[in-house]
Amino acid sequence: MAETKPVNLAVVGATGAVGEKIIQLLENRDFPINELKLLSSKRSAGKKVSFRNQELTVEEAQPESFRNVDIALFSAGGSVSKKLAPEAVKHGTVVIDNTSAYRMDQNVPLVVPEINEADIRLHQGIIANPNCSTIQMAAALKPVQDAFGLSRVIVSTYQAVSGAGNAANDELENQTRQFLNGEEMTAAQLPVKDESSHYPVAFNALPQIDTFQENGYTFEEMKMINETKKILHHDDLAIAATCVRLPIFTSHAESVYLNVDQQDVTVSDIWDVLEKTEGIVLQDNPDTQTYPMPLSSSDKEDVFVGRVRKDLDEANGFHLWVVSDNLIKGAALNTIQIAEHLNNHNWF
């Protein structure tokens, strides 16, 4: 690969859960940065952040912030992306957007580099990072699809609160303390901050992530359904999702049922293709009680897969359990990987 040019990089939403993780991952990553610009809302501007032996000051994100910025990583919420991403593009900046604002836009590539790196070069200024729960599932499905064909997916998720940001993390911790102190638990963030009802997530399960759509599915469920089809280039995939928020700080887990096209596939065949896939770690041994869990998967970059079982009734049916850190591969790392592929190939 040709030598890569150091870039001027901006992080929008630098003080949020994903922004913080992006800065933390960039610190030790072999990504050539000329200048790092940290941007946030007016409220968080002025904060100091240390990065590669420098002290950086967070600035308020403005339309003119993107002058001379080569790549901007957005994770400050959909409304900020809708307002500022087009401004950044006007300055020639390539935006990698970690919100749902542009994911289903047909002019915007939706990318998990291990799956559809080539889509990056089709960008017209904006590249979208998929939803956290989508990325890890698609990462596990892709090698199966390539090897055996894929016709059907039914997923039920076990999602961490950090997917709803630092305030949701704080809320879970606070509710847990309240419960142990015998106090009533108070809720203001989950399931959806801007909706009217809030329920404690501590010692509970909330079968709502994001707002309900007209068809009775939540937006999170429709993200998993639509984004997976787009990333896998598989419009005909029959796919359904039920998304549930749980009292877990970090790492989403997913119970995935799938049908492959071939009828003679074995569990060993599935293991083989998963084991050979970059970014996937197979943890699957009932004899040693080995399987992925959120606590063991947190702060790690891989997607962990276990509990691979053949369905007892359908010869082409399999069950998987997929776990990954929702802030790393589910957000910050995938965003950075898109930026690295963009830069390495000079696909500006």
For residues 170 to 209, the per-residue mask of contacts with a copy of itself, x marking binding by CB under 8 A and - elsewhere, is ---x--xx--x----------x---xxx-xx--xxxxxx-
Peptide bond into 191 cis (omega under 30): yes
Q: Nearest to residue 113, comparing CAs of 301, 299, 318, 323?
A: 301
Smallest gap from Cβ 178 to a copy of itself, in A, equals: 11
DSSP-derived secondary structure for 279-298: TEEE--BGGGTB---HHHHT
In terms of CB distance, is 66 or 321 closer to a copy of itself?
321
In terms of CB distance, is 14 or 209 closer to a copy of itself?
209
- Please say whether the beta carbons of 329 and 115 come within 8 A: no
Per CB under 8 A, 305 contacts a copy of itself: no
In terms of CB distance, is 53 or 181 closer to a copy of itself?
181
Q: Which residue in the set 4, 41, 156, 166 belongs to the binding site for a copy of itself (CB under 8 A)? A: 156
Smallest gap from Cβ 119 to a copy of itself, in A, equals: 24
Active-site pick, 123, 132, 234, 243: 132
What backbone phi and psi angles, to 5 degrees, belong to 188?
A: -140, -5
Per CB under 8 A, 286 contacts a copy of itself: yes
Other CB atoms within 10 Å distance of the CB of residue 183: 11
Q: Which two tokens stand for residue 343?
A: 């830069």
Q: Is 108 helix (H, G, I), strand (E, B) or coil?
A: coil
- Please say whether the beta carbons of 319 and 307 come within 8 A: yes
Distance, in Å, from the CA atom of 200 to the CA atom of 215, rounded to the nearest integer, reads 26
Per CB under 8 A, 304 contacts a copy of itself: no
Q: Which residue in the set 90, 311, 315, 346 belongs to the binding site for a copy of itself (CB under 8 A)? A: 311
205 Cβ contact partners less than 8 Å away, ≥ 6 residues apart: 244, 245, 246
- Please say whether the beta carbons of 292 and 283 come within 8 A: yes
- 103 assigned to a ligand binding site: yes
| Annotated catalytic residue 234 | no
**Side-by-side strand order, sheet with 238-242:** 238-242, 150-158, 252-260, 317-324, 303-310, 280-282
In terms of CB distance, is 54 or 289 closer to a copy of itself?
289
- Using CB under 8 A as the binding rule, the residues of this chain from 6 to 65 that contact a copy of itself are none
- C-alpha dihedral sign at 159, 165, 166, 170: negative
Smallest gap from Cβ 45 to a copy of itself, in A, equals: 31
In terms of CB distance, is 29 or 177 closer to a copy of itself?
177
| Annotated catalytic residue 132 | yes
- 129 assigned to a ligand binding site: no
If binding means CB under 8 A, how many residues of this protein chain bind a copy of itself?
61
Summarize as ranges the residues that interact with a copy of itself (CB under 8 A). Answer: 152, 154, 156, 158, 173, 176-177, 180, 191, 195-197, 199-200, 203-208, 212, 215-217, 225, 238-240, 242, 244, 246-249, 253, 255, 257, 267, 286-289, 291-296, 306-314, 317, 319, 321, 323
Catalytic residues: 132, 252
Which residues line the annotated binding site for substrate? 159, 245
